Amino acid sequence: MKEIKLSLSCKKVEREAALELGLLESDSYIEETLEEAAGFQMPSSLRFLFATLLLHCAPTNPSLLWEKFEMVLSRDFARAQVQTHCSAAEIRRKVLFDINKSLQHMGRHISEYKLVADSITLGCHESMTKEVDGEMNIVVSPEDLLIASKLNAEQKHAYDLILPSVFSSRGQSFFIDGPGGTGKTFLYRSLLATLRSQGYIAIAVATSGVAASLLPGGRTVHSRFKIPLDFSRNKTCQLSKQSSMAQLIIQCGLFLWDEASMAKRDTIQAFDELLKDLMETSDSFGGKVVVFGGDFRQTLPVIQGVTKDQLIQASLLHSSLWSSMHKIKLKHNMRAVLDPAFSRFLLAVGEGAELVDANNQICLPGHMVIPFHNIKRFFRQVLYISCASSHVPVLFHQLIAYTFPDLNLYSSNPYEMISRCILTPKNTSVEDINEMMIQRFPGQLFTYTSSDQTVDQRFQADYEDFLNSQNPKGLPPHKLMLKESCPLILLRNLNPAEGLCNGTRLICRQLRRHTICAEIAFGQHKGKKIFIPRIPLQTPDNEKNGIPFIRRQFPVRLCFAMTINKAQGQTLDYVGVYLKEPVFSHGQLYVALSRAKTADAVKVLILPGTFAEIKTDCKTRNIVFDEILQLSN
C-alpha cells in the first residue's frame, strides 16, 4: 500500500514568497506584536500567539525571540513553581511543549525553529499518542449524557442502529438525512457522548467551520484529515502513516461527518482511500463505522463556473460510496411544535413543492416580508447600500431594526447579538451590510490597513493601488474597520484543535495596533480568549483577477451579515434575509429561511429588479434541482 506523506510545500512557497516581498521583513514587527500582547497577562494565549507567529510570519531569528519573551511566556508555570517545586529546566520544557502542541496541530514541529540549543524532542510514546490523548480528554457534559433518554422514536432508531456497529467493530456507513429541525445535531451529540463516556474514540468533523463549531470536539474535515482543497494538484490526504493522527484514526470507533451533503464527491473518496490505506483493507471506509449527515434540500458543494449537471455530478450522490451507505431518514420536525405552519412551508420550499408563477417565483408569507411603504420615496433613493451616503433605503433600515433592534445593548452584552444575523446570497452585499453596521455600532472605530504586494515583485509598482481595491474571497479587506464587542468570523485555520477553524465566530474584545484579543462565541471552546496577529495571506490560485498577491492583515471579517451558504448548519434566534438579488443556487432560499425556529423570527427584504419595476408582492425565486432530491431518495 502506498504511504500518504505530509506535504508542506505550498505553505513553504507562500512563506518564502512573503519573505522575498518583505511582508515578513524583520522580527521588529513580531516583537512589537508580542510586547503588546504581553500586557494582557494571559500566558497561555501568548504561547498560542507565539506559535502562530512562528508558523505564519517566519521570523528571521526565532531563538532571539524566544530569549526575549521566555519569561512572559512562562509566567503561569513560574507562579505554580512554588507548589510543584519544578526546576527552571522543567518549566522551560513545559512552555516549549505547549508551544509545540499548537504547532503540531498545524503540521509543524518546534524543532524546525531551533529556539534553544537543546531543542525538545518528543519521546516515541508521547509523539505517537498526542492526538489520541487529545481526543480521549474531551470533556463529556452531563447534559449530553442525558440526551439519549430524550431522543424521539426516529432518533432512537438511528441511535440503536449505529451503536451496535461500533460495539461489535462491524464496519458500516450510515447517512442521516433530515431537514432542518429534525434534530440531527441532537442525535450526533448523544452518539458522541455515549461512546466517549465509555472510553471509545469518536471523531467529529463537518464540511464547514460553522457546523464543526457546534459539535463537541468538532473540526473541519479538511483540517482534521489533511484533505486537499485543490484536487487538480493532489488527490490524496496529506497525512503520514507514521503520524499520531494515523494512530488516532486506527483506534477510532466512530467517525461522524456533519453537512456531508455540502462536500464534493472527491473529498468523500479521498477520505475513503485514507481509511483503506491506514487500515490496509479494501473494505469501504477501511471497515470503520462512519456516520454522515446532511440535508440535500440545502446548498450543494460550492463550485464556480460549472453547469447544473456538472454540479450534481460533483456531489456525494454520484459517488460509488453512496449506494453502500445505510440511509436513515429523520422526518419528525422537533421545531414544529413552535410553528407547525412554518415547518410545512419550509419543507415545501426545500422540496420545490411550493407553487410557482409564470416567472418561476414563489410567494412568501406576507407577515415575513417587509412591505413597500412609500414607494415614491423609495425610488427617489439609491437602491444600493453606501456607507458614505445617507441615501440608504428606508426599507433596509427596517430590516436592520428588526434583526438588531438595540445596538447599544449588544455593545455591552454581545452574546445578546451573536445569534442574530442578516443573510444574503452574495459576498458583495455582505461587505456592504457589514461596512454600514460597523459605522452604526457604538464605540471607537479602529481601521487596520493591509500591506498588499504582488508575488512577482516586478509588477508591484504597476498594481499596488489595484491590489488595495481587491476583495478576494477568503481574504480580509484592505481596510478592516472594527470596534470592540463587534462580531467577527475567522478566515483561517489557526488552531482547529482549540476551536479556531475557518468559519469560527468570535467576539472582538480588545483592539490594539498589532493584535486583536477575541473570544470564541460558540461551541466547546465558547468563552476562550485568544490573540490574533496580522499574518500574510495569499490569494487563491483560481482568483479571476489573474494577479497573485499577498495581503498582510488580521485573518478576520465582520459578521453582522453572512452569505447564506456560510450560515448553513446554524440555528439563529433572529434572521434578516436581504435579497438585493434573487438566490442563484439550489437550496439557498430554503437555507436562509430555515435558520430560524419560527416564521416570526424571520424578516425578508426583496428589492425590485429595476427602477422601472414597482414591487408590491411577496414573490421571489426559489431554485430546487429535482434531480438531487430524486437521487437522495
pLDDT tens for residues 554-593? Answer: 999 999 999 999 888 788 999 999 999 999 999 999 999 9
User: Does the global pTM surpass 0.75?
Assistant: yes
Return the pLDDT at 352: 94
Contact 263, 272 (CB under 8 A): no
Return the pLDDT at 9: 47
> DSSP readout, 50-93?
HHHHHHHH--S-HHHHHHHHHHHHTHHHHHTHHHH---HHHHHH
Q: How far apart are CA 116 and CA 448, in angstroms?
A: 34
Return the pLDDT at 71: 93
Nearest C-alpha neighbor of 592 from the set 405, 373, 380, 421: 421
The predicted-structure confidence for 278-327, as pLDDT tens digits, reads as follows 999 999 999 999 999 999 999 988 777 778 888 888 899 988 899 999 99
What number of other Cβ atoms are within 10 A of residue 578's Cβ? 27
Question: Mean per-residue pLDDT for 126-143?
Answer: 80
- Among 356-365, 389-398, 470-479, the range scoring the smallest mean pLDDT is 389-398
**Per-residue pLDDT for 11 more than 90?**
no
The predicted-structure confidence for 181-200, as pLDDT tens digits, reads as follows 889 999 999 999 999 999 99
Return the pLDDT at 8: 41
> Between 467 and 124, where is the model more confident?
467
Alpha helices, H only, 198-279 = 209-212, 221-225, 244-251, 265-279
Max mean pLDDT among 131-140, 150-159, 519-528 falls in 150-159
Return the pLDDT at 3: 37
Return the pLDDT at 86: 76
Return the pLDDT at 189: 96
> Between 360 and 325, where is the model more confident?
325
- Among 89-98, 493-502, 514-523, the range scoring the smallest mean pLDDT is 493-502
Question: Mean per-residue pLDDT for 372-380?
Answer: 52
Question: Mean per-residue pLDDT for 211-226?
Answer: 88
Return the pLDDT at 372: 67
Return the pLDDT at 170: 85
**Per-residue pLDDT for 468 more than 80?**
yes
Q: How far apart are CA 488 and CA 557, in angstroms?
A: 6
Return the pLDDT at 49: 94
Query: Using only C-alpha atoms, what is the Rg of the chain?
Result: 25
Q: What percent of the chain has pLDDT over 90?
A: 52
Residue with cell 457546523: 211
**Per-residue pLDDT for 602 more than 80?**
yes
**Per-residue pLDDT for 19 more than 80?**
no
At residue 583's C-alpha, the angle toward residues 581 and 586, to 5°, is 165
Contact 547, 238 (CB under 8 A): no
Residue with cell 486506527: 250
